[in-house]
Structure 1
Amino acid sequence: MTDRPTSPWPLPLPPGEEPPMPPLSVWPTGQRDPLAQLRDAGCVPGTETDTERIPPAVAAHAIAIYTRPGDLVLDPDCGAGTALVEALRAGRHALGLTARSRWWTLARGNVTAAKTAGAWRDGSVLDARPKVLATVRAAGLIGRVGLVLTALRTAPADPNNQASGPDREPVESALADLATTLLYCEPLLRSGGHVAVIARPLRHPDGSLVDLTSPLIAAATAAGLAPVERCIALTAGLRGSRLVTRASLAERRAAARARAAGVPTALTAHHEVLVFQLAHDAELAAATAAGIPWPTEDDVIRPAVNGVTYPGWRRAA
């Protein structure tokens, strides 16, 4: 078994061609360890220091399933740029944003390395926060993005920035920032496009898992998106009927300390993947599956975002 999917399903297939299998809700993306994945992708040294990066195998799987060759993949908080590298390697255009100069340098280096290795699609990294997507600078992206692929990042883009308030917890702040980012990204999606959010399991001080799914779905719904899939991207390898965890030394030590303190803690073996579409697209797909006629509108307008009205499909109420 490999990390890379071979089937384009669930994208439309040529007439008469049947998909070989339905899409999996559990992605076999942990067959190679994290450092081996970075080497396979040709990432530059230092990429491994981005501990909240999207694993290359997870990015490759999402891109293969939810995009077509030539699509534009956007990561509005790209970190060291692993998602951008996989987009370019798969023949997609890639655009990333990051507000941290360290990640910008690494992401630029990774994009350059991918192009040097033969990727011919356009890849860019902007030294900017996601808010730029709601300005006139991003007007050319409206309705063009095939996939927004990003991770929930709990480390602040600017550790010295107290704009979110000193009393905000890192997870709470990260969820609020991502909610705003999704609002900026929604007008950029093309019809049929997807948003995929990758979330690493996080734990409370008592060892219990943090519920990230509920607030992420609520944030996406508020941005005019509808949940369409919830998947598990394995970070552990499959060896017959058992999982081989690939936890870091720090994670193993933390689990050992928790067990010694009488709080059994399992090593995480997956990332959660929440997939969304424009609310109209999700409603249309559901109506089509149920055989319900769907009225067409020639001039549907989305409500204004940051004072700008975008033509396109309506949002959910």
Structure 2
Amino acid sequence: MTERPESSWPLPLPPREEPSVPPLSVWPTGQRDPAAQLRDSGCVPGTDADTDRIPPAVAAFAIATYTRPGDLVLDPDCGAGTVLVEALRAGRHALGLTAHTRWWTLARANITAAKAAGAWRDGSVLNALPKVLATVRAAGWVGRVGLVLTALRTAPDDAKDRGSGPDGDLESAIAELAATQLYCEPLLRSGGHLAVVARPQRHPDGSLADLTTPLVAAATTARLTLVDRCVALTAELRGSRLVTRASLAERRAAARTRAAGAPTALIAHHEVLVFQLAHDAELAATAAADTPWPAEGELIRRAANGVEYSGWRRAG
């Protein structure tokens, strides 16, 4: 596999000027409870069993923000398929992958239900692991995906070999997602985004796990750059108050933890990390700084296998 040529961009910052920090934004995606969101989306019974699913309201917000009608939305570890349903409902094409037989059956049923309700875009789900995206089977998707939207999945299932214990599960989940980001990078079109939705996770001692640092490091390895860091609310916003929608089991677990002397807050949001191709982010930053762009025919990116694709040149 040949190396991609190194870019001379971004240009050096002026002396004493620090790099800009990606903006933090809050998405009001908790106004409806989880059951109501699934009903509104027309998801089939059993979808709620996927505890690592991206809430439909979060998926819909991300798709509306980072894609345009007709784009292809990819979830490389789609679970029961909530991302696929929202993509179809928004007039986008949808493609999902999962190696869990139960989730594949549910995702397929959800796609069928969305189409029966009037969604006319193409949607499909493959019974496959994300690594299939690095094979010749994915050649037709190179440079075509407008948004990769997926969740950090920490719940073990029969399709994955995770470490023992909560920390082992979390480390394994991050490692799997890092590999998935690497597989997905060549598929993104110019200007496309890759978004990871992560629920807050706690270590066995009750302390919050740092998910941002390893996820950003993994994306950097895949030549992706962080462009947005967002908070997707799962709690309802009532004026200036947040009303959590935690389940009874979550409330009881928090109460037990507090009684043991470890202050614990109920989960009120998911974190969303949004990345772009490194060259795209560099070009956008340079354009914002009023720096001349490369010539029309100048190659911006090269495929990992050394083959040039027209979709990887700057749009006119």
For normalisation by structure 2, the TM-score amounts to 0.87
Output one character per residue of 1:186-220: Cα deviation in whole Å (capped at 9) or x when no partner.
00000000001000000111211100000000000
Cross-structure match for 1:294: 293
Output one character per residue of 1:226-261: Cα deviation in whole Å (capped at 9) or x when no partner.
000000000000111100100111111110001110
Give 4+ residue runs of structure 1 displaced > 2 Å after superposition.
155-159, 164-168, 294-304, 308-314
CA contact (8 A) 2:24 2:231 kept: no
Cross-structure match for 2:80: 80
Counterpart of 2:288, as a letter, is A
Q: Is the deviation greater in 135-144 or in 291-300?
A: 291-300
Cross-structure match for 1:32: 32
CA contact (8 A) 2:24 2:228 kept: no
Counterpart of 2:233, as a letter, is L
Please give the residue correspondences for 1:88-167 in structure 2 after superposition, counting only pairs within 5 Å.
Answer: 88-158=88-158, 162=161
Shift of the alpha carbon at 1:156?
A: 3.5
- Cα distance in structure 2, aligned partners of 1:149 and 1:89: 15
SS at match of 1:155: coil
CA contact (8 A) 2:53 2:82 kept: yes
CA contact (8 A) 2:54 2:150 kept: yes
CA contact (8 A) 1:54 1:83 kept: yes
Gaps of 5+ in 1: 1-22
- Cα distance in structure 1, aligned partners of 2:267 and 2:157: 25
Change (3 A) 1:193 1:28: same
Shift of the alpha carbon at 1:292?
A: 1.4
Counterpart of 2:190, as a letter, is S
Change (3 A) 1:181 1:157: farther
Bigger relative CO (Cα 8 Å, ≥ 6 apart): 2
CA contact (8 A) 1:142 1:187 kept: yes
Number of residue pairs the alignment of both structures matches:
287
Change (3 A) 1:242 1:62: same
CA contact (8 A) 2:236 2:244 kept: yes
- Cα distance in structure 2, aligned partners of 1:265 and 1:272: 18
- Cα distance in structure 2, aligned partners of 1:127 and 1:311: 30
CA contact (8 A) 2:31 2:236 kept: yes
Shift of the alpha carbon at 1:61?
A: 0.2
Residues 1:169 and 2:149 are matched in the alignment: no
- Cα distance in structure 1, aligned partners of 2:170 and 2:93: 31
Gaps of 5+ in 2: 1-22
CA-based RMSD of the aligned residues comes to 1.8
Counterpart of 1:176, as a letter, is A
Counterpart of 1:286, as a letter, is A
- Cα distance in structure 1, aligned partners of 2:163 and 2:272: 29
CA contact (8 A) 1:73 1:93 kept: yes
Percent of matched pairs sharing the same residue = 78
Counterpart of 1:311, as a letter, is E
SS at match of 2:292: coil
Cross-structure match for 1:20: none
Counterpart of 2:282, as a letter, is E
- Cα distance in structure 1, aligned partners of 2:301 and 2:27: 37
Counterpart of 1:236, as a letter, is A
Output one character per residue of 1:19-77: Cα deviation in whole Å (capped at 9) or x when no partner.
xxxx9810000000000000000000000000100000000000000000000000000
Output one character per residue of 1:153-197: Cα deviation in whole Å (capped at 9) or x when no partner.
0123535x54x6669800100000000000000000000000010
- Cα distance in structure 2, aligned partners of 1:290 and 1:158: 50
SS at match of 2:218: helix
Cross-structure match for 1:42: 42
- Cα distance in structure 1, aligned partners of 2:24 and 2:40: 24
Please give the residue correspondences for 1:214-233 in structure 2 after superposition, counting only pairs within 5 Å.
Answer: 214-233=213-232
Residues 1:234 and 2:269 are matched in the alignment: no
Residues 1:261 and 2:260 are matched in the alignment: yes
- Cα distance in structure 2, aligned partners of 1:259 and 1:310: 57
- Cα distance in structure 1, aligned partners of 2:308 and 2:197: 29
Cross-structure match for 1:285: 284
Cross-structure match for 2:68: 68
CA contact (8 A) 1:147 1:196 kept: yes
Change (3 A) 1:69 1:230: same
For normalisation by structure 1, the TM-score amounts to 0.87
- Cα distance in structure 2, aligned partners of 1:188 and 1:114: 25
CA contact (8 A) 1:143 1:189 kept: yes
Counterpart of 1:77, as a letter, is D
